[in-house]
Amino acid sequence: MSTALLAGLILLGAAAPVQAQDRSELGADLDAILADPGLAGADVGLVVTTLDGEPVYRRAGERRQQPASNAKLATSAAALEVLGPDHTFTTTVASTGRRHGPVLHGGLYLRGTGDPTMLAADYDALAARVARSGIRVVRGPLTADDTWFDDVRLGLSWAWDDEPYYYNAQVSALTASPDTDYDAGSVIVRVAPGAAGAKAKVTTEPPTDYVRVVNTATTGAPGSANTISVDREHGSNTFTVTGSIPAGGAVTSEWMAVWEPTGYAAALFRSALRRHGVTVLGPTTRGATPAGATELARRESMPLRELQVPFLKLSNNLHAEILVKSMGRASAGQGSWDAGRPVLVDALTRLGVTGRLSMADGSGLSRMDQISPDQLAQLLAGAADRPWFGEWYEALPIAGEPDRLVGGTLRNRMRGTAAAGVVHAKTGTLTGVTGLSGYVDTASGERWIFSMVSNNTIGVNAKAIEDKVAIRLAEEGGPVSPRVAPRGADQRSDHAVDQETELECSWRKAC
């Protein structure tokens, strides 16, 4: 086992076994839900407690499992503990050159600290600030300074076949996002129909010459099938667009990860300088900003308390990994996963989490992450006592709320049920893995904690079963004691498996 992984595998102390309380009707109903034949052979854990940790229900709560994006509960809470809700990221432009009128005899340094919210418009604003200072010619190079983090771009055991897609983008201290979801390190490839029989039209957002598009896509007859596919060649920024799009059909948009986001950010900034009348004569290079360099422009991000909303609602993987490296930089002086993972786990200790766990990354993409429902419930209980809890609680996805920055990955789930609006929880999805952990306000007026994590699911829509659990918890204490309906034709959807059950809906831009 590598030293890097050992850094994330920590013994936090012995966890005492928890015994279920005598809530016989609720327990019987939950037992019936978990007896779904579709879960046969799966590893399913469910823990329900009060806010102060009193057990309500427990099944296999001690079993460590792959959490998928439930890992973001740990990363987000740890970041608030370590970095603080007011933490911001800064991006600066500086120089050590001498000015002679409009000519800068020297180069420019573009320095990042991991800001995932940098848009092309923000690089344009930095360039405008440089132009307003009177500089028109830069005789030296444009140096991209991404040294705040290390140069390890991809996480431990991330799947190679996910590499071209934005939810598996590369991590850099200097990056750019194409939209206000803040999908750092990616571009949007848009494919529009032309006339029937003609080539499809392809553009990128933001427009950039950092990527190259090879377009063989055609426009089919009106009403024909859309077979558009976008891929990226490994080790390059060549994007291939193939297939057919129907004439008169809607634009197809694919969010794609760039290769080497540092160069992407620098390319956007260089283009912006050119638009504002500033010519950089030297090449684009990489290096550290010298001590004592004069700052010419600065941009500061939104605080972490606000970033939690797109991070948790939309399950943004890159935000999680940037936060892990930022915790390492803040606590150990190294912006790396190796430095950040122990800091993350130490923060979990302070939040009351006990027992062994493994955090190989911050997002849950890694198949080497291991945490139990008991530990997730402990984390949720510990967070409830923190001064930042109120904003964190509201940043969690909320069941059945249609606004995507309110409902997030739960916006299309549990609508019109007792759980709608009262379940605040983090989803998690990988192939064969699903999780739902958070808080539920019951009909009796109590707030409970719950964590359900399922591994090794095959051919079953385990999310529908998670929803039944959450709905049943929300109904507890209502005027009529609910009972789990017998299985019948109306519940066949529990076994209807589609792409949504294999990948976070937000990663497909479907919620």
Segment 50-78 shows an average pLDDT of: 97
Catalytic residue among 72, 313, 325, 468: 72
The domains of the chain are located at 3-10+23-86+305-508, 90-152+261-301, 186-257
Catalytic residue among 69, 95, 186, 301: 69
CA nearest neighbour of 347 among 8, 89, 113: 8
Rounded Cα–Cα distance for residues 52 and 62 (Å) = 18
Kindly tell me if the per-residue pLDDT of 501 is higher than 80.
no
User: pLDDT at position 100, please?
Assistant: 96
User: pLDDT at position 437, please?
Assistant: 98
User: pLDDT at position 16, please?
Assistant: 33
User: pLDDT at position 391, please?
Assistant: 98
Q: CB atoms < 10 A from the CB of 229, how many?
A: 12
Backbone angles phi, psi at 193, to 5 degrees: -75, 150
User: pLDDT at position 441, please?
Assistant: 98
User: pLDDT at position 24, please?
Assistant: 81
Rounded Cα–Cα distance for residues 84 and 336 (Å) = 19
Q: Per-residue b/e over 114-153, b at no fewer than 16 CB within 10 Å?
A: bbbbbbbebbbebbbebbeeebeebbbbbbbbbbbbbebb
Retrieve residue 466's tokens: 């998670």
- CA dist list (Å): 212 to 179, 265, 270: 20, 16, 17
Report the number of secondary-structure helices (H) and strands (E) in the chain. Answer: 11, 24
Average pLDDT of every residue of the chain: 92
Q: Tens digit of pLDDT for each residue in 178-189?
A: 999 999 999 999
Kindly tell me if the per-residue pLDDT of 307 is higher than 80.
yes
User: pLDDT at position 482, please?
Assistant: 58
Query: Sorting pLDDT into bands at 50, 70 and 90, what band is 496?
Result: low
Architecture of domain 3-10+23-86+305-508: 3-Layer(aba) Sandwich (3.40)
Catalytic residue among 172, 244, 301, 315: 315
Q: Which residues pair with 218 in a beta bridge?
A: 199, 244
Query: Sorting pLDDT into bands at 50, 70 and 90, what band is 240?
Result: very high
User: pLDDT at position 174, please?
Assistant: 98
Segment 419-434 shows an average pLDDT of: 97
Q: Tens digit of pLDDT for each residue in 355-406?
A: 999 999 999 999 999 999 999 999 999 999 999 999 999 999 999 999 999 9
Rounded Cα–Cα distance for residues 158 and 155 (Å) = 6
User: pLDDT at position 483, please?
Assistant: 59
Q: What share of the chain in percent tops pLDDT 70?
A: 91
CA nearest neighbour of 198 among 157, 161, 245: 245
Q: Tens digit of pLDDT for each residue in 149-197?
A: 999 999 999 999 999 999 999 999 999 999 999 999 999 999 999 999 9
Topology of the domain comprising 90-152+261-301: D-tyrosyl-trna(Tyr) Deacylase; Chain: A; (3.50.80)
10 or 398: which carries more pLDDT confidence? 398
Query: Sorting pLDDT into bands at 50, 70 and 90, what band is 502?
Result: low
- Asked if 493 is an active-site residue, the reply is no
Cis peptide before 342 (omega within 30 of 0): no
Segment 91-119 shows an average pLDDT of: 98
Given a contact cutoff of 8 angstroms between Cβ atoms, the answer to whether 506 and 408 are in contact is yes
Given a contact cutoff of 8 angstroms between Cβ atoms, the answer to whether 493 and 464 are in contact is yes
- Asked if 72 is an active-site residue, the reply is yes
- Asked if 315 is an active-site residue, the reply is yes
Q: Tens digit of pLDDT for each residue in 331-356?
A: 999 999 999 999 999 999 999 999 99
Query: Sorting pLDDT into bands at 50, 70 and 90, what band is 486?
Result: very low
User: pLDDT at position 19, please?
Assistant: 38
Q: Tens digit of pLDDT for each residue in 286-298?
A: 999 999 999 999 9
Query: Sorting pLDDT into bands at 50, 70 and 90, what band is 6?
Result: very low
Query: Sorting pLDDT into bands at 50, 70 and 90, what band is 18?
Result: very low
Segment 403-423 shows an average pLDDT of: 97
User: pLDDT at position 481, please?
Assistant: 52
User: pLDDT at position 509, please?
Assistant: 87
